[in-house]
Each structure stands twice: as C-alpha cells, then as structure tokens.
C-alpha cells in the first residue's frame, strides 16, 4: 500500500536527494521506487521523475545554459557623475546598446558629490530601463576618487568609461569590443564628437576644438588615452589607479594611461565607436579652450618628466614650438578658425614650458 502524500508539503524529496546522488543514480533510484509503489510524487514533478529520458533532456538543456553563461563576456560600464541631470540620457544610451549575443553589461555609477544627490535619479532610471546598475557614493568633487571607485567595484574582465553628459551611439560598445578582439590591444579609444548649440560662433564649430580623439604618432603608436570614451582590459591595470592629486586640476587620465603605456600596455583606436559630447555654452569660447589647453600642456610635460626626459632640453624644444605657433597665428589672422586653432596649440606648448619651469598645474574644474 502506497503511503499517502501530504498535499501541502512544499519541499519534495528530490532537491535533498539531488545534493547527494549523481544525476543518473537519482533518476534510476527515483524511478524504481515509484514503480514499486514505495513513494508518491507530486504531479508537477512526475514529468521529471517518471520518464528518465525527459530528465536527461532537462539536464542537457541546463548544461547548455551553463556553458553559455561561462562563455558570456561581461563589461562593466563606468560613469562618474557630479550634479548633472544629463546622467539619465547617458544611461538611456547605454541601455540602448546593440551588443553581440555573448555580451552582457553592468553599469557602475560613481556619484562624486558630497551627499548622495544622484542616487534617486540613477536608481529610478535603472529600474525604468531594466539596467543592471550599481550606484556608488564616492565623495567629494575629485574625479580621481570617483574613477577609482569604479575600478574598485569592477568585477568584469572589461571596463568601459563614458562621461555623464555624453550620449553613446547604439553600436558604441560593440565597436570597441570588436576592435579589442581585432587588435589584441589592452585599451581601445573611441572618438567623443562635440555637439554645439546652434548660436555658437561659426569659428567654434569650424575649428571643432572640443571634440576628443587620440593623437596617433607616426607608425600608429598611441602613447596616452582618456576616459570619455574607452574600453580596457581590467587585468592590464591591476593595482593601477588615478592620481587623486590631479582630481581637481584635470589630466589624471592622461597620466594614468601614459604611465601604463610605459609599462607595456597597448592602445588602439576604434573610429566607429562614437559618443556625442554636448558642449555647454559657457565653454564655447576662446578663454575656456586656452585654459584647458594650457593645463593639458602642463600634464603632458609632467608625463615627459616622469618618463625620464631632460627638463632643459625639453624646455628649449617646446619654447621653439611656442614661437612657431605664434607665428602661424599671425599669418592665419584672416582665417577665423585657423588662427584660433594655432593659438590654442601654442597655449598647450606654453603650459608645457611652465611645467618644465616648475609651475604647478592650474585648477580647471
């Protein structure tokens, strides 16, 4: 006589047994006990226990799913934010990525404000967009601290950075990943293309000094990078972090990547991996561009000194470049965009000269 099975029992006998018996032994034993009338099985479990071949099918499907999960490539997308409502649009563009089938993403948002002011906005946007998102509070107003928080919380083998006022095109991450596979490089940079207000001066749009692209040397070498559009292998940066001393002046990403290149990290460029960078009206002027260029020159000089360069020789060569740029600026005065481009280039070299003379970096942000 078969024992009565209590209908309200929520834990069937199978899960405990499955922890102790191999699948084949579990199927054979359960099936034999059932046929001999020694156990009763809930109807919902009968398809998995009465017919052993069905269990094999289920197990085979589980094996396929587990294998697929093991071959999936995870990317942590890092976004550092500070009091910008545009973070919602950035998250929207990340959620709209057209990714390869073997790729999944998680977003890490590091809030650099003193108080966690972006938490509600980020968490609401993540829920609305069905984004796997981790919010991290990383105070205060030092971009290096926020970037390091992203690296500290990254668990995926690949980490991408995008700014909180940028919008990624749908193929952005896919293009970065494809170039990484193609080249085998440790870092892939993409272009950050400036978007201007309709009423900016014509020379601003024509000179396009706000867009960001890598400097590619003769032979294709790229010796530094930036964080407004990048994908990198996390293992290549084990133990390396952004310098908090540069978190207010800017240039922390330049130092971060240039030091990595000196240690053997390779950088490549994916021009198809586009993000758009809206330019605030208060930055669409010559004064702001000159200050940024001067600080970039100071940062560049710092990397040259750290690389073992001779200050005196570097200063002499750079001073000659300042003079050349000033000459070009005068010659190009009839062309509004060209003379301003030459002047901004000259301020970059002037910033380098200042650093060679021992001036400290100016605070840009």
Whole-number pLDDT of residue 288: 96
Among 5-14, 111-120, 311-320, where is mean pLDDT lowest?
5-14
Query: Do 88 and 165 meet the contact criterion of CB atoms below 8 Å apart?
Result: no
Nearest Cα to Cα of residue 174 among 104, 273, 92: 273
pTM: 0.79
pLDDT range class, residue 23, cuts 50, 70, 90? low
Whole-number pLDDT of residue 363: 74
The DSSP string of 194-259 is EE--TTS-HHHHHH-TT-B---PPTTS------SSEEEEEGGGGTT----GGGTTTS-HHHHHHHH
Whole-number pLDDT of residue 86: 97
Query: Do 99 and 71 meet the contact criterion of CB atoms below 8 Å apart?
Result: no
Whole-number pLDDT of residue 24: 52
Whole-number pLDDT of residue 9: 32
- pLDDT, average across residues 8-34: 44
């Amino acid at each position: 006589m078969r024992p009565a099975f209590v209908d309200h029992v929520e834990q069937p006998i199978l899960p405990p047994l499955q922890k102790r018996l191999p699948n084949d032994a579990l199927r054979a034993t359960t099936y034999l006990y059932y046929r001999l009338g020694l156990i009763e099985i809930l109807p919902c479990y009968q398809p998995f226990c009465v017919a052993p071949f069905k269990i094999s099918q289920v197990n085979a499907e589980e094996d396929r799913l587990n294998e697929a999960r093991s071959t999936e490539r995870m990317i942590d997308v890092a976004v550092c934010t500070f009091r910008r409502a545009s973070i919602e649009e950035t998250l929207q563009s990340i959620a709209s990525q057209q990714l390869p089938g073997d790729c999944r993403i998680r977003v890490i948002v590091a809030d650099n404000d003193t108080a966690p002011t972006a938490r509600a906005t980020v968490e609401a946007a993540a829920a609305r967009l069905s984004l796997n998102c981790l919010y991290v509070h990383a105070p205060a107003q030092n971009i290096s601290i926020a970037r390091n928080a992203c690296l500290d919380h990254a668990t995926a083998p690949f980490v991408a950075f995008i700014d909180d006022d940028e919008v990624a095109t749908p193929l952005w991450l896919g293009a970065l990943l494809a170039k990484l596979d193609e080249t085998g490089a440790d870092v892939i940079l993409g272009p950050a293309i400036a978007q201007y207000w309709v009423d900016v001066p014509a020379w601003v749009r024509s000179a396009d000094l706000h867009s960001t692209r890598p400097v590619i040397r003769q032979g294709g070498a790229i010796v530094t990078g930036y964080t407004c559009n990048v994908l990198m292998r996390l293992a290549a940066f084990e133990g390396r972090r952004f310098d908090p001393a540069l978190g207010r002046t800017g240039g922390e990403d330049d130092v971060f990547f240039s030091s990595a290149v000196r240690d053997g990290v390779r950088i490549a460029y994916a021009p198809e991996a586009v993000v758009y960078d809206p330019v605030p009206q208060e930055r669409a002027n010559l004064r702001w561009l000159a200050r940024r260029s001067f600080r970039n020159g100071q940062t560049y000089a710092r990397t040259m000194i750290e690389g073992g360069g001779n200050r005196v020789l570097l200063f002499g060569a750079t001073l000659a470049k300042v003079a050349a740029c000033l000459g070009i600026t005068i010659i190009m005065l009839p062309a509004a965009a060209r003379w301003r481009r030459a002047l901004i280039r000259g301020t970059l070299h002037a910033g380098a000269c200042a650093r060679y003379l021992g001036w400290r970096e100016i605070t840009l942000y």
